[in-house]
Amino acid sequence: MDGDMDEVVEEKDDRLQTLMAILIAIVVAIGAIVVWRSSLAEDAAGDADFDGMRAVVFAENTRALNYVNAYEDYRNYLRYWYYTRLGELIDADLATADGEQADLLDQEARAAYNQADANAYFFETRYLNRDGAYNVQRQLGSMWADEQRIKDLEYESKFAVADRLRIKTLHLLLALMVISIAPVFYSLVESVSGGFRLVMITIGSVFAIAGTILAVLIEFTR
């Protein structure tokens, strides 16, 4: 009778050990998947940071070059404007001048216009407003837009993605921590007896399931 009872208890223990081994194996497998997803998220965060940094370099390079070139054009325009305006003002006075004075003013006006023409080819005429003023801000905006067509100049969104992925990595590791508590209770099953075994299995499974659900939610929630 005792021998039969021992066999039954031993058989139960074997089944329990097998169950525990399977549960621990499942938890370890889930943990490994969570670590893998966490690692992928971390890698993606690094990539997003790199993309962002590349965009920062492109953006600042573009900004610096655009300012240098646009204000160089503006400088040439201003010289052009200076001599053109001088010519116009002399022309206005020429209308009321006569004789030698008129000849002198005519020469001065021509000289001014010639100097204006010498500067006319050194700025972008398409950035002139209808009133003839040079719109350097429009040129800067246009140059930026041109560069944006061939280079990625926007970096804030990439840094935001990187930050979000980093948080995801940490949250997945938090889920892993919850999952990793399960084996503690599974291993305690061997140390207790009777109803406590079921309690240990239940608590361990609650941690395993909670951690898994948490990881799934983190993975599939933006």
Partner 1 sequence: METKGIGSFFSISDDQFKRMIAVFIALVTVLVAAVTYLQSDAASRDDQANRDSKRYAVESFGRQVSGTARVNFDESVAYQMMYEAALMADLADQRQEQDAARRFHTIASEVSLASPLLAPPYYDPKGTSEPDILRYEADVYLVEITTLEENFSAAWEVKTAWDYKANTYIIYITLLALSLFMFGLAATLSSPRSRWVFSGAGVLSTAVAVVASILLWSKPVFDLRQQGNAIADYAQGVGLAHQEQYEAAIESFDRALAAYPAYTNALVERAGANMELAQYDQAVLDYTAAINTGDKRAFVAGNLGWAYYLMGDFQRAIDMNRFALAASPDELWVQFDLGLSMLAAGQVEAAKAEYNRGMEMATRSVADAVTAGREQPAFLWWSLEDAASSLDDCLNTLDQETGNPPPQSIQNPDAVRTTGQDLLTSLKSLTVALEFTNKPPAGTVSGTISPLQISEPVYDDQGEMVSDAEPATEFSFGITEVALQFDYEGMQNGQEYLVKLYFDGVEDPSWRILGVWDYGASGSQTILLSYEYSDYFTFGPGQYQVELYIDQHLMQSATFSVYEE
Binding mask 178-217 for partner 1 (x = CB under 8 A): --xx-xx-xxx-xx--------------------------
59-to-47, 49, 81, 130, 136 alpha-carbon distances in Å: 18, 15, 31, 30, 18
Closest CA to 218 of 33, 8, 10: 33
Query: Which are the contacts of 77, defined by CB distance < 8 A and separation ≥ 6?
Result: 119, 123, 128, 134
56: Cα within 13 Å, side-chain hemisphere: 10
Interaction between residue 78 and partner 1 (CB under 8 A): yes
Interaction between residue 174 and partner 1 (CB under 8 A): yes
Which listed range, 1-9, 122-130, 175-183, 212-220, lies at the site for partner 1 (CB under 8 A)? Answer: 175-183
* Nearest-angstrom CA–CA distance, 159 and 162: 5
Of 86 and 216, nearer to partner 1 (C-beta) is 86
Interaction between residue 71 and partner 1 (CB under 8 A): yes
Interaction between residue 49 and partner 1 (CB under 8 A): yes
DSSP letter assigned to residue 132: S
Interaction between residue 138 and partner 1 (CB under 8 A): no
Looking at residues 87 to 116 of the shown chain, list those that interact with partner 1 (rule: CB under 8 A).
Answer: 89-90, 93
- Helices marked H in 95-135 — which ranges? 99-120
Q: Encoding tokens for residue 213?
A: 């659900």
Could you say which of 23, 30, 143, 162 contacts partner 1 (CB under 8 A)?
Answer: 162
Could you say which of 82, 102, 152, 206 contacts partner 1 (CB under 8 A)?
Answer: 82
Residues 172, 219: contact at Cβ < 8 Å? yes
* DSSP 3-state of 68: helix
Could you say which of 17, 25, 46, 196 contacts partner 1 (CB under 8 A)?
Answer: 46
Of 159 and 216, nearer to partner 1 (C-beta) is 159
Query: What is the C-alpha end-to-end distance of the chain, expressed in Å?
Result: 62
Interaction between residue 117 and partner 1 (CB under 8 A): no
Contacting residues toward partner 1, per CB under 8 A? 38, 42, 45-46, 49, 52-53, 56-57, 59-61, 63-64, 66-68, 71, 74-75, 78-79, 81-82, 85-86, 89-90, 93, 133-134, 155, 159, 162-163, 166, 169-170, 173-174, 176-177, 180-181, 183-184, 186-188, 190-191
